[in-house]
């Protein structure tokens, strides 16, 4: 043995060697200590209540609260909501919710919305069925059907139209079924009477007809009503009984992974006699929380599947069990670090997704160190198999630890950076999810270094080579080594054996018998198999790139429930099915003076529901004639504002204003001038303090929104003239725009930006007392969300991809291999995103943005493992690109396949999860694994086999690996400008020549090289 003090190694190397030898000498002590430490930290996490899930945190945690458009929209809404009330005024248009409400009020009523559809819902049989069904529900839920004004909430239904004698042509004997509790089959003549009246009323009065909203939008086109709806307020404490009644009457079933609110077909309806029916009630949202625990339970199934894969690959229940314990315990430990280091207590369903990610990453860490041990210890030739002698075991564990720690550090670094890149996101759940994921990955790396080396030694000493199920724990016999002198004399060449006698795994069989022969196949000197893999990979990347560029932010809300759930697509369903005014789908824009911003100093993004909105106002003065003229001029300019962008559906007018025969804007100052003239006979401008007196009188006097407004744009002076405690704080003008409220981000954003630019120009001409002017719209917060998803994803890529390249460069120390690998990583990312668009037709929503981060982490892992091993092959005497590629595949191929299998097992279980987001993530993780395998085993290995760097070609000066043995064995390569000693031999012959070193006297060289590379650092126990 050579004393460590005499070795020519640095202090860090000495420390590593000492640390590794400690694992080899006292494996049980270190293993049990590590396990106890993990259990202690886990107990602290649970007993302190740190591991808790936030599922009912009030407020909109997904809003981009810091974005200017979102802040201004919230500020204007808050200012309007808190303006002084008007006596006798009743809101017609609902004020928008701020999204930060923290009300915990228990509601007395639940509003049930029931939607029916058929070829014609107004037939005698259909109306009778609707009547019987609603009468049954109304009795059960004690719905409010009386006309008493004290009740305030009334049942609104088409049944009440037809079952009444109010028209002269109607049957006078018909009575309201909610009064007589009876539903008769109506005569066809009676139905025709009301049918004609409804058609005429809708055609002539439009939305002014009180019952128009209950009718299908197709009524005006075909004259046949194919849908109708009912609004049924019922007592909240009767909801459970109503649900039981519905379940019995409609045969709605619920159970494991199934909600009673799921339709029986893709239209999200269920059958009700001759009708199809669908519901919407706020208690449907409880399905999310109720099934979240079920989906969390599936993580246990994922753990079981990963455990089975680990057991199958390692062929040891001991390694699989200890590896799974490490992975499982890393989560609560990471939560402890996450909540105490980052000081964040937000932990929701999105964070649960990280468990599935960590299962794959943690299992990959286990595979790396176990497979490294197999390969390194397998280089030691023995006469009789068994455990390695203590000195050889210590000597073997050093390169195992170095190789494993380096490989796992590199992959963990890139994945951690990818997740940390979400830290710049303004979407709080996305940001915190990235932090938590980074904690988990770092924790698994640390545990791999601190815990697994001793586990591997225990396995080697007592279990390796024994049966994988319930083996005896007796100490294995010590192996008899082939001494260097004996091998040099050729005495033991025929008796040298592998020490472990481990059975070949399924992944190894596939690699050795199928993959490698195909990869190495050649015709006329051309690597046919490798070329085919490269061509397929390039074609896939090009296809993915084309469709990835078509991804846009979502144009509709994210669907969290299963596809057929009645909550999914509800807003679109109602807007597209039922009658509404043509302008109803078009957004409004509000220009406001005096509202400066929100005071966000007390805002906590982790508890948005606790924030009480505080609006910052600027001083406004409208009492001068100059200021009033400026506002009036602004109103005229507003309605003349041009818009020729694609999102502006203005019927060729070229204006931002909605094209309508009715007034599509409201300007309170114009209306105020008309009111002064009409009411007081004042034709000139009122200024000074008298102006504020008259303006307040005008605000209180005109309580009908249609006095100066129209159905297209109502004049709501409570909102537009902002008196707070008697003082004028702000004022607004408003317009109905020609931009559809469901316009996608890519079309709507240019309109918003144009409006901002236009407004900046107008502010320059405003008097100093009116220079605080802003525009707000309910569309803008959605555009902020889209911009954040797009920007966050691409910013994450811009951060993670260069880091991945640098890590690859440092790990391989070769520019050519690094370029091959980073191209493969980029190809994986675009291919996954292209799959989302081309196959699934998804937008770049929350799931896709999360997947983009995960993709970078996964894609780097496999390519980095193979690339790093290709470089290491030269130190093991492999000369040609073919030999080095084969070495990389033989050493890391099974690890890559096993890692892919565990990740697929972990992510694949989410296919059966209830929450649709998890299903989407299952698709994304599975397809990510598929493309990662394709590009790592196809593109990277194919390129390395065809044009991998040989000798020192592509090596970075100063970073090149020491003692490149390829020069010793094969001389210089033609690429270096020197003649080669192996000139004339093809790659295949060279590979065979190197592979022959596993038998005969070459074993002496193998062992001596092993000693030369790693030194004789072991000490006798």
CA atoms within a 13 Å half-sphere pointing along the CA-CB vector of 97: 10
What pLDDT does residue 93 have? 46
The whole-model pTM stands at: 0.79
Q: What is the mean pLDDT of residues 381-408?
A: 89
What pLDDT does residue 8 have? 61
What pLDDT does residue 377 have? 86
**C-alpha Rg value of the chain to the nearest Å:** 37
For 43, residues 6+ apart whose C-beta sits below 8 A from its C-beta are: none
Q: How far is CA 754 from CA 223, 645, 654, 775, in A?
A: 42, 9, 14, 11
- Give the model confidence (pLDDT) of 731-779 as tens digits: 999 999 999 988 888 889 999 999 999 999 999 989 988 988 999 999 8
707: helix, strand or coil = coil
CA 271 to chain centre: 35
CA–CA dist 855, 828 (Å, integer): 7
Please state, rounded to an integer, the average pLDDT across all residues of the chain. 83
- Give the model confidence (pLDDT) of 164-177 as tens digits: 877 777 777 777 77
pLDDT band, residue 108 (cuts 50/70/90): confident
Q: Which residues are paired to 523 by β-bridges?
A: 526
pLDDT band, residue 546 (cuts 50/70/90): very high
Q: Which residues are paired to 593 by β-bridges?
A: 731, 773
| Beta sheet of 109-117, edge-to-edge order | 227-235, 109-117, 275-280, 270-272
Q: What is the largest CA-CA distance in the chain?
A: 124
Structure tokens at 308: 């089975």
CA–CA dist 503, 11 (Å, integer): 39
Residue 435: which of 448, 416, 409 has the closest Cα? 416
Q: What is the mean pLDDT of residues 382-408?
A: 89
638: helix, strand or coil = helix
For 289, residues 6+ apart whose C-beta sits below 8 A from its C-beta are: 55, 56
In the 8-state DSSP scheme, what is residue 143?
A: -
CA atoms within a 13 Å half-sphere pointing along the CA-CB vector of 211: 22
pLDDT band, residue 796 (cuts 50/70/90): confident
Q: Which residues are paired to 653 by β-bridges?
A: none
What pLDDT does residue 970 have? 33
CA–CA dist 636, 634 (Å, integer): 5
Alpha helices in 428-510, H assignment, sequence order? 428-450, 452-462, 484-489, 506-510
The DSSP secondary structure of 65-96, one letter per residue, reads: TTSHHHHHHHHHHHHHHTSPP-TT---SSPPP
Residue 1007: which of 252, 367, 340, 482 has the closest Cα? 482
Strand ranges, E, within 154-262: 227-235
Q: What is the mean pLDDT of residues 497-515?
A: 72
H or E segment and range at residue 276: strand 275-280
pLDDT band, residue 995 (cuts 50/70/90): very low
Size (the chain), residues: 1021
Lowest mean pLDDT among 184-193, 607-616, 931-940: 607-616
* pLDDT higher than threshold 60 for residue 962: no
Structure tokens at 577: 């099915």
Q: What is the mean pLDDT of residues 688-697?
A: 94
- Give the model confidence (pLDDT) of 263-280 as tens digits: 999 999 999 999 999 999
Strand ranges, E, within 75-171: 109-117
Return the higher-pLDDT residue of 980 and 254.
254
792: helix, strand or coil = helix
CA–CA dist 60, 850 (Å, integer): 19
Backbone angles phi, psi at 857, to 5 degrees: -65, -50
pLDDT band, residue 651 (cuts 50/70/90): confident
Residue 168: which of 197, 125, 202, 211 has the closest Cα? 197
What pLDDT does residue 482 have? 75
In contact, 637 and 735? CB cutoff 8 Å? no
What pLDDT does residue 1013 have? 31
Lowest mean pLDDT among 274-288, 439-453, 739-753, 958-972: 958-972
In terms of Cβ atoms closer than 10 Å to its own Cβ (0-12, 13-18, 19+), residue 54 is: middle
What pLDDT does residue 985 have? 39
- Give the model confidence (pLDDT) of 470-504 as tens digits: 777 888 888 888 764 454 444 444 454 544 445 67
What pLDDT does residue 147 have? 52
Residue 586: which of 661, 662, 656 has the closest Cα? 656
206: helix, strand or coil = helix
Residue 824: which of 764, 888, 867 has the closest Cα? 867
Alpha helices in 504-581, H assignment, sequence order? 506-510, 516-520, 528-548, 570-577
- Give the model confidence (pLDDT) of 523-545 as tens digits: 988 999 999 999 999 999 999 99
Could you give the dihedral angle defined by the CA atoms of residues 753, 759, 761 and 766, in that order, rounded to the nearest 10 degrees?
Answer: -170
H or E segment and range at residue 861: helix 846-873
- Give the model confidence (pLDDT) of 831-867 as tens digits: 998 998 999 888 877 777 777 777 777 778 888 889 9
Residue 637: which of 759, 819, 490 has the closest Cα? 759
What pLDDT does residue 468 have? 58
């Amino acid at each position: 043995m050579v004393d460590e003090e005499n070795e020519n190694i640095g202090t860090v190397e000495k420390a590593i060697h000492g640390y590794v030898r400690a694992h080899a000498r006292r494996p049980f002590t270190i293993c049990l200590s590590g396990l106890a430490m993990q259990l202690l930290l886990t107990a602290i996490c649970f007993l302190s209540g740190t591991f808790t899930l936030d599922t009912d945190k009030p407020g909109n945690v997904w809003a981009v609260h810091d974005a200017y458009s979102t802040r201004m929209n919230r500020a204007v809404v808050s200012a309007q909501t808190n303006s002084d009330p008007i006596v006798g005024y009743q809101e017609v248009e609902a004020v928008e919710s701020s999204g930060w409400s923290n009300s915990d009020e228990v509601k007395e009523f639940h509003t049930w919305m029931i939607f029916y559809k058929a070829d014609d819902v107004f037939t005698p049989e259909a109306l009778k069925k609707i009547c019987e069904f609603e009468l049954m529900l109304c009795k059960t839920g004690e719905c409010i059907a009386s006309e008493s004004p004290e009740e305030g909430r009334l049942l609104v239904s088409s049944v009440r139209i037809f079952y009444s004698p109010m028209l002269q042509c109607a049957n006078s004997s018909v009575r309201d079924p909610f009064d007589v509790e009876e539903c008769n089959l109506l005569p066809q003549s009676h139905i025709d009477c009301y049918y004609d009246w409804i058609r005429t009323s809708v055609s002539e009065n439009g939305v002014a007809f009180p019952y128009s909203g209950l009718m299908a939008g197709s009524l005006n086109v075909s004259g046949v009503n194919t849908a109708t709806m009912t609004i049924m307020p019922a007592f909240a404490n009767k909801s459970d009984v109503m649900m039981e009644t519905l379940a019995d009457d409609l045969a709605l079933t619920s159970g494991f992974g199934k909600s009673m609110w799921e339709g029986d077909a893709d239209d999200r309806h269920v059958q009700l006699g001759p009708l199809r029916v669908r519901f919407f009630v706020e208690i449907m949202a409880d399905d999310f929380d109720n099934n979240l625990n079920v989906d969390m339970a599936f993580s246990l199934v994922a753990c079981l599947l990963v455990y089975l894969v680990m057991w199958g690959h390692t062929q040891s229940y001991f390694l699989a069990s200890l590896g799974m314990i490490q992975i499982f315990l890393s989560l609560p430990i990471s939560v402890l670090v996450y909540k105490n280091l980052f000081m964040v207590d937000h932990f929701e369903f999105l964070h649960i997704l990280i468990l599935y990610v960590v299962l794959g990453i943690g299992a990959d860490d286990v595979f790396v160190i176990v497979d490294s041990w197999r390969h390194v210890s397998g280089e030691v030739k023995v006469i009789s198999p068994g455990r390695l002698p203590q000195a050889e075991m210590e000597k073997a564990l050093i390169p195992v630890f170095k190789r494993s720690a380096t490989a796992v550090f590199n992959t963990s670094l890139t994945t951690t950076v990818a997740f940390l890149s979400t830290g710049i996101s303004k979407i709080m759940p996305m940001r915190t999810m990235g932090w938590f994921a980074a904690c988990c990955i770092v924790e698994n790396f640390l545990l791999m270094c601190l815990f697994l080396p001793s586990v591997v030694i225990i396995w080697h000493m007592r279990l390796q080579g024994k049966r994988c199920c319930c083996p005896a724990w007796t100490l294995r016999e010590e192996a008899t080594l082939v001494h260097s002198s004996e091998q040099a004399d050729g005495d033991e060449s025929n008796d040298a054996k592998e020490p472990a006698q481990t059975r070949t795994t399924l992944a190894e069989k596939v690699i050795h018998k199928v993959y490698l022969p195909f990869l190495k196949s050649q015709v006329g000197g051309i690597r046919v198999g490798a070329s085919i893999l490269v061509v397929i990979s390039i074609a896939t990347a090009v296809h993915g790139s084309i469709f990835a560029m078509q991804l846009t932010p979502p144009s509709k809300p994210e669907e969290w429930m299963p596809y057929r759930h009645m909550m999914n697509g509800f807003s679109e369903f109602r807007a597209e099915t039922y009658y509404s005014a043509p302008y109803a789908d078009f957004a409004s824009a509000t220009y406001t003076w005096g509202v400066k911003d929100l005071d966000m100093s007390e805002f906590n993004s982790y508890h948005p529901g606790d924030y009480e909105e505080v609006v910052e106002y600027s001083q406004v003065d409208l009492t001068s004639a100059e200021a009033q003229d400026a506002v009036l001029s602004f109103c005229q300019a507003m309605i003349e504002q041009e818009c020729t962008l694609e999102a502006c559906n203005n019927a060729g007018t070229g204006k931002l204003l909605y094209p309508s025969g009715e007034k599509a804007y409201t300007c309170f100052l114009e209306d105020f001038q008309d009111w002064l003239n009409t009411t007081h006979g004042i034709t000139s401008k009122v200024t000074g303090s008298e102006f504020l007196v008259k303006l307040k009188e005008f605000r209180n006097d005109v309580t009908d929104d249609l006095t100066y407004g129209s159905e297209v744009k109502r004049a709501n002076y409570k909102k537009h003239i902002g008196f707070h405690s008697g003082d004028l704080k702000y004022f607004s003008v408003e317009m109905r725009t020609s931009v559809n409220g469901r316009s996608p981000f890519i079309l709507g954003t240019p309109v918003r930006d144009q409006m901002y630019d236009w407004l900046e120009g107008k502010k320059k001409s405003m008097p100093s007392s009116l220079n605080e002017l802003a525009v707000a719209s309910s569309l803008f917060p959605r555009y902020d969300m889209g911009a954040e998803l797009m920007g966050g994803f691409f910013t994450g890529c811009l951060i993670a991809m260069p880091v991945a390249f640098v890590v690859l460069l440092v790990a391989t120390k070769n520019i050519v291999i690094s370029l091959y690998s980073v191209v493969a990583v980029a190809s994986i990312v675009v291919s996954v995103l292209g799959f989302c668009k081309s196959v699934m037709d998804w937008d770049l929503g929350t799931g896709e943005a999360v997947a983009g981060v995960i993709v970078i982490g996964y894609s780097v892992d496999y390519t980095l493992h193979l690339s790093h091993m290709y470089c290491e092959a030269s130190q093991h005497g492999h000369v040609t690109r073919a030999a080095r590629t084969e070495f990389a595949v033989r050493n890391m191929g099974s690890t890559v396949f096993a890692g892919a299998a565990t990740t697929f097992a972990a992510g694949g279980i989410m296919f059966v999860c209830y929450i649709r987001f998890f299903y989407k993530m299952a698709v994304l993780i599975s397809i990510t694994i598929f493309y990662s395998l394709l590009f790592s085993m196809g593109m990277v290995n194919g390129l390395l086999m065809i044009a991998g760097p040989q000798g020192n070609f592509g090596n970075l000066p100063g970073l090149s690996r020491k003692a490149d043995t390829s020069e010793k064995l094969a001389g210089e390569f033609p690429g270096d400008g020197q003649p080669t000693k192996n000139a004339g031999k093809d790659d295949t012959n060279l590979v065979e020549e190197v592979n022959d070193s596993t038998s005969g006297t070459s074993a002496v060289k193998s062992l001596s090289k092993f000693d030369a590379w790693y030194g004789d650092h072991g000490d006798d126990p």
